[in-house]
Structure 1
């Protein structure tokens, strides 16, 4: 997260990774650059970035709107009384953090991909929102990643220690885990929060363009900038992805072991064995769904962490490789933030049944009652007329 010079402009633009965990937005925040007569030929990645920017500008708002709706549906279903469990508490807060990530990205995408684009100047109000976006998006999406790690840990403990799992992974501990994750992530993101400052430049025609920059005017801020980059790359990207990859393998192994135990139980012809087999099959379905959620996170976040780490080691890599791929990584991350609703509906019968009961059965009943009342009113009116 540092200054980079766009080859088509004379002024430095700031590249803002939307999160350490969330989109890596390569969008330049200073949108007022003037043309440079000595343009250098663009690389293949730069050409791709320029072409994909228009696609991302139209796709991102649509993905955000659909993702916000999907995460709201997740919250409504997962908070029903029949759905309350330690796992679903973590999934609820994951939906909250994912939804919050998309809510702060939506205005950003509209403002900076459709309204304040070259050669228009960026007003102070937009710069203030960019400051809010740069800070809040990192926090909420980092919370999403570590909640996913917590979810994987809870699930592994639950199936690895079936007798003590319910006690070790209680509802109280799930709520405590959410609180600790939110607190620790917020503290870890403080260096990122204090790294930015508002800057301005003359945009011509008596206009001033405002943007945000990374503070590096003193040795302390220069150190903070580098320190923050490593924190974002390692603590908020690579470490959780490494843990999620290990936990995914462990969960898959536990599922295979559980399936072996279930087949042995099926050979026993008694009701207790059949009940245990049914419970084991249900547990495996839930675990399989969570493994898919975890794997999607790993596939989305690991490339960003590696690119960010390489960018911290080599500034040229940051500007030539990491930055042009920012919009693409943003799209993938936003898609991942909104896909969980589809996974829950397709892979969890309990979630699907509860969703149908809330949004289909009750609506059908309400519509039926309305129609019946209207019919009764019509009949009463006819009797009165007679």
Structure 2
């Protein structure tokens, strides 16, 4: 269905195509997000189960476990939100749709998802830094990136990130409004031909911009924190680190070409370390693809003002949510495709006993200083 300018309002910044996309995709977002969340929740539970096995313990895998926990919580919490906002029938009573409990949940959803998504960003940046140190400065890796330091960094992320998001929590609150509804909780039409039972005054609750945000520069602070501190700066850092890692991979390839047959063991060690780096680079690139656009949109909102927010940012909200959910769900596939040790450990844990298990050698998902070869 194509929506006209009269029904939706003209969008000077992004054009009608973006508006049409929003209203078309909105019809499917609820079902699509539930499918992604269902798959992603199971996938992250499997990630946690595999990565916490004794033979898989390493600083890098500890970071990946913390990342899986944050992603899991984001997706589990998104399920009731998607049901309430997108999947309930149009005739669902207005008194229930805007009840205090559901409106409070929507308000809490905003803060919860923001906090744990920020934790995911923190851990992704940590993962990039850890891998960069391991590949480019292996001589100091054992000191800087040991397990104790890694666990402290993960715990710090879970503590600091919710605090960074405090301005966002203060931007919205609940407001109440009394409306005249019929006996089943619906608002009557103008001619009241569809009224069921006697009319009554009902207090409804809505998520709205707080007085603090409306009367101060808090909303600008929130967009600066969200777009620059949480999104753009980490994306720039990841881009730089990823490029350095790619250069390190190319240098390692050149070194291997110069190694003689007597140095075959060293060549194999570098090759397996490179595989781990490639897999982690894939994780980083997926993050950049999903996060950079959100940061740019937030920054443009700061520069261009409220009109851009209404025309572009809001119309892209569901698409950005889906990109973030896909990013949170897809790491399991990357691990299975790119890490033999992850596949072998997964098969030992979850495949039935009558299915033959592979005896191939597998590389560690992330021992950053040595190549961990495991016979399974």
* TM-score of the aligned structures, taking structure 1 as reference length: 0.79
Give the equivalent residue in structure 2 for 1:128: 104
- Could you tell me how far 1:207 is from its partner in structure 2? 3.4
Q: Which residues of 2 match residues 172-183 of structure 1 at below 5 A? A: 172-183=148-159
- CA-to-aligned-CA distance 1:160-211 (integer Å, 9 cap, x gap): 1223323321111110111222222122111112222111224431333322
8 Å Cα contact 1:78-1:88 kept in structure 2: yes
Distance of 1:94 and 1:67 partners within structure 2: 13
8 Å Cα contact 1:215-1:225 kept in structure 2: no
8 Å Cα contact 1:216-1:225 kept in structure 2: no
CA 1:41–1:152 in structure 2 vs 1: closer, same or farther (change >3 Å)? closer
Indicate which of 322, 326, 334 corresponds to 1:335: 326
- Could you tell me how far 1:91 is from its partner in structure 2? 0.3
Distance of 2:73 and 2:293 partners within structure 1: 23
Give the equivalent residue in structure 1 for 2:208: 213
Indicate which of 316, 327, 347 corresponds to 2:338: 347
8 Å Cα contact 1:300-1:336 kept in structure 2: yes
8 Å Cα contact 2:128-2:238 kept in structure 1: yes
Give the equivalent residue in structure 2 for 1:240: 234
8 Å Cα contact 2:132-2:241 kept in structure 1: yes
- CA-to-aligned-CA distance 1:207-262 (integer Å, 9 cap, x gap): 3332211213577x522222112111111111111111111101101111112222
Give the equivalent residue in structure 1 for 2:198: none
Partner of 1:163, secondary structure, is helix
Give the equivalent residue in structure 2 for 1:29: none
- CA-to-aligned-CA distance 1:52-104 (integer Å, 9 cap, x gap): 10111110111111100000000000000000000000000001111111111
Distance of 1:228 and 1:120 partners within structure 2: 34
Give the equivalent residue in structure 1 for 2:189: none
Distance of 2:344 and 2:43 partners within structure 1: 16
Q: Which runs of 5+ in 1 are unaligned?
A: 1-6, 9-37, 366-386
CA 1:311–1:148 in structure 2 vs 1: closer, same or farther (change >3 Å)? same
Query: How big is the alpha-carbon RMSD for the aligned residues of Structure 1 and Structure 2?
Result: 2.2
CA 1:296–1:135 in structure 2 vs 1: closer, same or farther (change >3 Å)? same
Q: Which residues of 2 match residues 154-169 of structure 1 at below 5 A? A: 154-169=130-145
Indicate which of 240, 243, 264 corresponds to 1:274: 264
Runs of 4+ residues deviating >4 angstroms: 38-42, 116-120, 361-365
Partner of 1:146, secondary structure, is helix
Q: Which runs of 5+ in 2 are unaligned?
A: 11-15, 182-200, 357-376
Give the equivalent residue in structure 1 for 2:283: 293
CA 1:143–1:362 in structure 2 vs 1: closer, same or farther (change >3 Å)? farther
Indicate which of 150, 161, 167 corresponds to 2:126: 150
- Could you tell me how far 1:364 is from its partner in structure 2? 5.0
Partner of 1:208, secondary structure, is strand
Distance of 2:154 and 2:56 partners within structure 1: 18
